[in-house]
Structure 1
Amino acid sequence: MTTIRDIATAAGVSIGTVSNYLNDPQLVADETREKIHSKIIELDFHPSAAARSLKTRQTRRIGLVPIISPEDYRSTDPGDNAFLELLAGLNYIAAENSYSILITAAPNYAQELKTYERLIGEGQVDGLVLMGIRSQDERIEFLSQKKIPFVAYGRSDITCDYPYVDVDGASGMEMAIRYLTGLGHKKIAYITPLNGLMCTTQRWEGYIKGMAESGLPINKDYVVEGDFNQRAGQMSAHLLLDLPEPPTAIITANDICAFGAMRAVQTRGLQVGKDVSIIGFDDISLADHWQPSLTTIAQPFRKIGFALMQSLFSVISGEKVLPQIMVEPRLVIRQSTGEYSPV
Structure 2
Amino acid sequence: MARPTIKSISKRTGYSVGTVSNALRGAKSVKPETRDEIQRVAVELGYRVNLDALKLRTNKSYRIAVLVGVSTDAPDEWEGVEFTRILAGISSAITRTRYELSVFSVANSDDAMATLDRIVGGGLADGVIFTATLKNDPRIAYLQDKGFPFVSYGMSDSTRPHAFVDFDSQTAAFDATVRLIRLGHRRISLVNPPEDLIYADQRRQGYENALATARISTDPALIVSGPTTARTGKRAFQTLMQLDDKPSACICANEAMTLGVLSAAAETGVRVGPDFTVISTDDLQLSRYFVPPPTTYYVPIEETSRLLGEFMLKCLDGADPSETQKKIRATLIERQPDIPAPQQALTT
TM-score, normalising length: structure 2? 0.79
Query: For 2:71 and 2:213, how far apart are their aligned partners in 1?
Result: 39
Kindly indicate whether residue 172 of structure 2 is the aligned counterpart of residue 172 of structure 1. Answer: yes
Question: For 1:247 and 1:102, how far apart are their aligned partners in 2?
Answer: 45
Alpha-carbon offset, residue 51 of structure 1: 10
Find the counterpart in structure 2 of residue 216 from structure 1. Answer: 216
Query: Following superposition of structure 1 onto structure 2, how do residues 1-343 of structure 1 map, counting pairs within 5 Å?
Result: 53-72=55-74, 74-77=75-78, 80-322=80-322, 323-335=324-336, 338-343=339-344
Provide the rounded CA distance (Å) in 2 between the counterparts of 1:153 and 1:268. Answer: 37
Deviations, residues 34-73 of structure 1 (Å, cap 9, x unaligned) = xxxxxxxxxxxxxxx999933332222111112203234x
What letter matches 1:157 in structure 2?
D
SS of the equivalent of 2:129 reads strand
Cα RMSD after superposing both structures? 2.1
Change in 2 beyond 3 A, CA 1:239/1:50: farther
1:206 and 1:299, CA in 2 relative to 1: closer, same or farther beyond 3 A? same
1:97 Cα offset (Å): 2.2
The Cα of 1:227 is off from its aligned counterpart by 2.2
AA paired with 2:237? A
User: What amino acid maps onto 1:301 in structure 2?
Assistant: I
- What is the deviation of 1:309? 1.4
Deviates more, 1:226-235 or 1:326-335: 326-335
> Between the two proteins, what is the percent identity of the paired residues?
27
Sort the Cα spacing of 1:148 and 1:180 in 2 relative to 1 into closer, same or farther, 3 A. same
Change (3 A) 1:321 1:119: closer
Could you tell me how far 1:336 is from its partner in structure 2? 8.6
Q: What CA distance in whole angstroms lies between the structure 2 residues aligned with 1:104 and 1:124?
A: 11
Pair 1:342–1:224, CA change in 2 (3 A): same
SS at match of 2:90: helix
- Quick check: 1:279–1:337 contact (8 Å CA) kept in 2? no
Q: Is the 8 A contact 1:251 1:279 kept in 2?
A: yes
Do the aligned partners of 2:77 and 2:229 also contact (CA within 8 Å) in 1? Answer: no
Q: Secondary structure at the match of 1:341?
A: coil
Q: Which residue identity is paired with 1:162?
A: H
List gaps (5 residues or longer) in structure 1: 1-48
Distance 1:288 1:341 in 2: 24
Structure 1 equivalent of residue 9 of structure 2: none
The CA distance in 1 between the partners of 2:231 and 2:326, in whole Å, is 33
TM-score normalized by structure 1? 0.80
Q: Deviation at 1:321? A: 4.7
Letter in 2 for 1:339: P
Q: 91-100 or 259-268, which moves further after superposition?
A: 91-100
Aligned residue type for 1:324: Q
Read off the aligned partner of 1:334 and give its amino acid letter: R
| Deviations 1:91-138, CA, capped at 9 Å, x for gaps | 100213232211110122221100111122221111111211011111
Secondary structure at the residue paired with 1:105?
Answer: strand
| Whole-angstrom CA distance in 2 between matches of 1:251 and 1:167 | 16
One-letter code aligned to 1:67: G
Q: Which amino acid aligns with 1:65?
A: L
2:135, 2:80 → 1: CA distance? 24
Q: Distance in 1 between matches of 2:238 and 2:52?
A: 53
How far does residue 243 in structure 1 lie from its aligned partner after superposition?
A: 0.9
Residue segments in structure 2 that go unaligned for 5+ positions in a row: 1-50
Task: After superposition, give the CA deviation of every residue in 1:153-208 in whole Å (9 maximum; x if it has no partner).
Answer: 11111111211112211100111011112222111011111011100111111011
Q: Deviations over 1:267-323 (max 9, x none)?
A: 101111221111112112321111111222222111111212111111101223542
Provide the aligned length of Structure 1 versus Structure 2: 293
